[in-house]
């Protein structure tokens, strides 16, 4: 062990004359620990929401949507065969068409809403998206019911169904700019756990959309990949080989992910100030320690210890305090994050507040995901702030005149 490290450890664990100094040191450790814990918990919850919404987007949206601008796929089955031969990463594909429509419940006055009607191939779509799962009450869903659409049938997002006051078996009118209206029977209520899909989307067959738009074929081909995270590379391969436009799930939701990253960054900056405030306690503790150890510093300088070594002793002491607080904060924050749902429910019950509401967030519990990258960034930031707080006290100690320090004692 280096001399400076040995002395720093001795000062940290040795008995002190001032109880106030010991108390300030404990407060400094606790302050860093609380700040780091808050950072870990908040970043884990934000990452949990990001992961939950990403999973919902990946499940409900195609990993890649292939289009030919200004044209349709007149023979979608043949194109899907070419697509799968060009990109083996595609495990399933399904044709889809979309129509902007006005949906109305004739049995209820003023029960109408604008929305989008997606025409799908039910057999193929089952392998590409989780629409069939959205018709169940599993995975945190509470409103799903019914089955995939058949001829002259339609599935409504559950919020859209509420607007139309429609349920299973209700007959609704669907009109577009090219059709005065088709009468379709509601065969399912879907809960996608995404606000836009639940509020504005309905699902029917490709033939029904053709009757609404008069446009044959499929407007796009939806693809599911073995690895959704490889969507960008696969999309570029498809574009180069087939001369089409391939849009990935991330590109279609770019604004959402940018907003999420910005919010995460803002929260991180705000919470770092907690650690910054705690670092002032470390500076206070070291300043008092320098005052208490004036005689020791004078003796060390007299026997030949350099000013640089004294500087390192007090920097190491401050870093040890900060590292202990950081380690405690990371451990406590991780423990809280892993149990955030029952903890939040308990706090809400004690304070008489509303607990986490699955119907709002479309999740069955408060999510949290501990990201090792976030933990590393938090630990590094806490260490840097701790180091900065040690500079002035350590510099002051290194500048003490040994003769003056011993004379005062």
Give 163-178 pLDDT, tens digit per residue: 999 999 999 999 988 8
Q: Coil, strand, or helix at residue 217?
A: coil
Quote the CA–CA distance of 315 and 294 in Å, as a whole number.
Answer: 16
What is the structure's pLDDT at 189?
Answer: 94
Asked whether residue 149 carries a pLDDT value surpassing 90, the answer given is yes
Quote the CA–CA distance of 99 and 177 in Å, as a whole number.
Answer: 10
DSSP assignments along 110-157, one per residue? T-EEEEEEEEE-HHHHHHHSSHHHHTSS-TT-SS-EE----TTEEEEE
Are 364 and 308 in contact, with CB atoms under 8 Å apart?
no
Quote the CA–CA distance of 64 and 71 in Å, as a whole number.
Answer: 18
Mean of pLDDT values over 286-294:
74
Strands 90-104 and 171-176: antiparallel
Q: What radius of gyration, in Å, describes the C-alpha atoms of the chain?
A: 32
Are 156 and 131 in contact, with CB atoms under 8 Å apart?
no
With a CB cutoff of 8 Å and minimum separation 6, the contacts of 356 are 341, 344, 345, 348, 365, 366
Please give the helix or strand (H or E) that residue 92 lies within, else none: strand 90-104
Provide the whole-model pTM.
0.68
Q: Coil, strand, or helix at residue 175?
A: strand
Residue with tokens 């320098």: 290
Confidence band of 12 (pLDDT split at 50, 70, 90): low
Token couple for 409: 């004692």
Confidence band of 276 (pLDDT split at 50, 70, 90): confident
Q: Is the dihedral of CA 281, 283, 284, 289 positive or negative?
A: positive
Mean pLDDT estimate for the chain? 83
Distances (CA, A) of 198 to 189, 224, 397: 9, 21, 65
Asked whether residue 79 carries a pLDDT value surpassing 60, the answer given is yes
φ and ψ at residue 73, rounded to 5 degrees: -90, 100
What is the structure's pLDDT at 161?
Answer: 92
């Amino acid at each position: 062990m280096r001399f400076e490290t040995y002395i720093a450890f001795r000062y940290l664990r040795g008995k002190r004359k001032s109880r106030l100094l010991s108390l300030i040191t404990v407060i400094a450790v606790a302050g860093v620990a609380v700040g780091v814990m808050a950072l870990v918990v908040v970043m884990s919850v934000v990452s949990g929401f990001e992961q939950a919404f990403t999973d919902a987007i990946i499940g409900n949206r195609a990993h890649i949507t292939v289009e030919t601008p200004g044209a349709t796929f007149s023979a979608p089955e043949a194109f899907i065969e070419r697509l799968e031969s060009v990109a083996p990463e595609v495990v399933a594909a399904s044709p889809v068409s979309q129509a902007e429509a006005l949906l109305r419940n004739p049995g209820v006055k003023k029960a109408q809403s604008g929305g989008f009607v997606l025409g799908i191939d039910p057999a193929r779509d089952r392998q590409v998206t989780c629409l069939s799962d959205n018709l169940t009450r599993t995975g945190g869903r509470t409103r799903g019911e019914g089955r995939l659409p058949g001829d002259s049938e339609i599935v409504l997002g559950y919020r859209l169904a509420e607007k139309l006051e429609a349920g299973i078996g209700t007959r609704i009118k669907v009109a577009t700019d090219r059709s005065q209206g088709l009468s379709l029977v509601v065969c399912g209520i879907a809960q996608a756990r995404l606000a836009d899909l639940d509020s504005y989307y309905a699902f029917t067959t490709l033939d029904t959309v053709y009757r609404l738009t008069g446009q044959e074929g499929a407007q796009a081909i939806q693809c599911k990949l073995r690895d959704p995270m490889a969507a960008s590379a696969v999309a570029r391969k498809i574009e180069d080989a087939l001369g089409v436009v391939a849009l990935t799930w991330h590109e279609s939701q770019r604004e959402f992910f940018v907003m999420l990253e910005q919010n995460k960054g803002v929260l991180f900056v705000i919470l770092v100030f907690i650690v910054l405030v705690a670092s002032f306690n470390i500076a206070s503790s070291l300043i008092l320690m320098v005052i208490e150890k004036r005689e020791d510093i004078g003796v060390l300088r007299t026997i030949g210890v350099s000013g640089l070594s004294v500087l390192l002793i007090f920097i190491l002491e401050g870093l040890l305090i900060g590292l202990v607080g950081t380690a405690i904060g990371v451990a406590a924050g991780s423990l809280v994050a892993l149990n955030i749902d029952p903890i939040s429910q308990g706090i809400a019950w004690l304070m008489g507040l509303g607990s986490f509401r699955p119907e709002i967030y479309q999740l069955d519990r408060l999510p949290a995901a501990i990201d090792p990258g976030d933990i590393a960034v938090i630990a590094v930031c806490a260490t840097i702030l701790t180091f900065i707080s040690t500079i002035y006290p350590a510099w002051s100690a290194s500048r003490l005149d040994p003769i003056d320090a011993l004379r005062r004692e």
